[in-house]
Amino acid sequence: MVTIGDRTRAGSNDDLLRALKALAVRLHRTSWASGDLSPRTDKSVALSRIAKSAAEAIELSTDGKALPHVIIFATSVRLWQAIRKAPQVTPELTREFDAEVARLRQDAADKALNVDRKIPKPFEIAKEAGMDNEHQSFYKLYSKLVHASSFLVNGNRDEVNGPGIMAALQLNVQYYGHALVGTVCDALGFDQNVVAPVDPDGAA
């Protein structure tokens, strides 16, 4: 059984950041290898894009730039919904918002995507994958960090940005990032040596 120690590198904050950068490189390699398979299939394209998105998300957290506060991300979707229905919104803004929604729906239709289909909730996906216990074990931590109401009631910025929680999250990203590489390789039937881990400094 693969343990968290097999897929993670601990140490100082610099050590953790180097490990995350190396993981991003590995995920990009996984994306390229998946996308280059011939013949291309819906499965290989989807898995390639998942690996690429994971790599880009990790890069966002390691580029050293100041990111907006976590609650901005947590409230952004609901904020748009609230703006759309607020009495102060002008008819022009309403039309602009509706036009953007229509454009996105048309783009999805052009790609044969059903935007009205019910999307499974995370706990449903976890249960289907046999990972419901694992999902529940992390749910309380993640919900405190990203759900606006929980964050404001139970925590503060200094606490959330503390070294203990940050290290736990970075180790968690490493574990699941490398697990994703293995899942993609297994699903598409190619050797993980093709996307072997890089050194901690992110060099090839």
Per-residue pLDDT, 70: 46
Is residue 183 a part of any domain in this protein? yes
Per-residue pLDDT, 27: 92
Per-residue pLDDT, 108: 74
Report d(CA 115, CA 29) in Å as an integer: 30
Is residue 113 a part of any domain in this protein? no
Q: Which two tokens stand for residue 181?
A: 């590489």
Q: Tally the residues of the chain.
A: 204
Alpha-carbon distances, residue 85 vs 74, 78, 94, 101, 149 (angstroms) = 19, 11, 8, 14, 21
Number of domains, the chain: 1
Which stretches in the chain have pLDDT values below 70? 1-6, 63-83, 115, 144-162, 197-204
Alpha-carbon distances, residue 10 vs 26, 159, 174 (angstroms) = 18, 21, 10
Is residue 202 a part of any domain in this protein? no
Is residue 152 a part of any domain in this protein? yes
Quick: pLDDT tens for 62-80: 765 544 444 444 444 456 5
Token look-up 């729906």 returns: 105
Structural domain that includes position 178? 11-70+124-195
Per-residue pLDDT, 14: 81
Is residue 116 a part of any domain in this protein? no
Is residue 203 a part of any domain in this protein? no
Per-residue pLDDT, 31: 92
Per-residue pLDDT, 28: 92
Per-residue pLDDT, 74: 44
Is residue 83 a part of any domain in this protein? no
Is residue 104 a part of any domain in this protein? no
